[in-house]
Amino acid sequence: MLKSVLAAGAAAILALSAFPAASRDRYAERPPVMISPDLSAPWVMQLRDNRSPMAAKRQRSQASGPSLFGTPAPQQVKRTRQKVSPFRTASVPAAKPRAVRAPQVDPKYLPQMVDYDGGRKPGTIVIDTRDNFLYLVQEGGKARRYGVGTGKPGFEWAGTHKITSKRVWPDWRPPAQMIARERAKGRHLPTHLAGGPENPLGARALYLGSTLYRIHGTNQPWTIGGAVSSGCIRMRNEDVVDLYERVGVGTTVVVM
């Protein structure tokens, strides 16, 4: 055992004696690494001169755009924001107005020349309240025929009268009986309405004898051809104007 202890001590002494030499060798100054000028010259030139062929090629490639073998060169794009006025409204195409189609008059009620053999002399007005036609008898077995609106059920009448008066855009004064009748239905009529486009007597009126009945125009032309009135004979405004010019006071009117 004593021998082993002595041997360990001897080994430790040897290790301590070798340590200073190893330390000095570790920190000793090394000779510089030498690089051949043939290898170092091109790299030093690149570092010193930015205008080297490689640098110029790199600058040209950046200026000309992305390379086929490299990543695209970043491009600075100057973006300008458009100023939008807070008062600017969006442009929306205007909606086309929808056409309102007025009620049409049956063509058979439009003025036309027809044959007539009723035996009345030319210049006489004959009104057929069953078929809603007014005839102005002409020479040679002809008559000028107009469509008309006639009295509603309960307001039909027949007789022969003379035209006693003619009016252009006549005023309307509803009879007292009509005012009372309409009031009972909850409708209040004016006692007087001046002539004009809104007047129910229309553009012209031909007054018949001493009766309350008239041949007159209307602002409701779509009612022509029906039983729609309180006994008066309605015509389209353009038709009553035409008839007005063709007949005079004293003309005989026959209502059948």
Question: Hey, which residues are catalytic here?
Answer: 216, 232
φ, ψ at 68 (rounded to 5°): -70, -20
Residue spans of alpha helices (H) in 49-127: 53-64
Is the Cβ–Cβ distance between 116 and 141 less than 8 Å?
yes
Alpha carbon distances (Å) from 60 to 46, 48, 69, 115: 16, 19, 14, 103
Which strands form 133-137's sheet, in the order they lie side by side?
112-115, 142-147, 133-137, 125-128, 252-255, 159-168, 204-208, 214-216, 233-234
- SS3 state at 112: strand
- Cα distance between residue 145 and residue 204, in whole Å: 18
Which residue carries 């239905």 as its tokens? 185
Is the Cβ–Cβ distance between 158 and 255 less than 8 Å?
yes
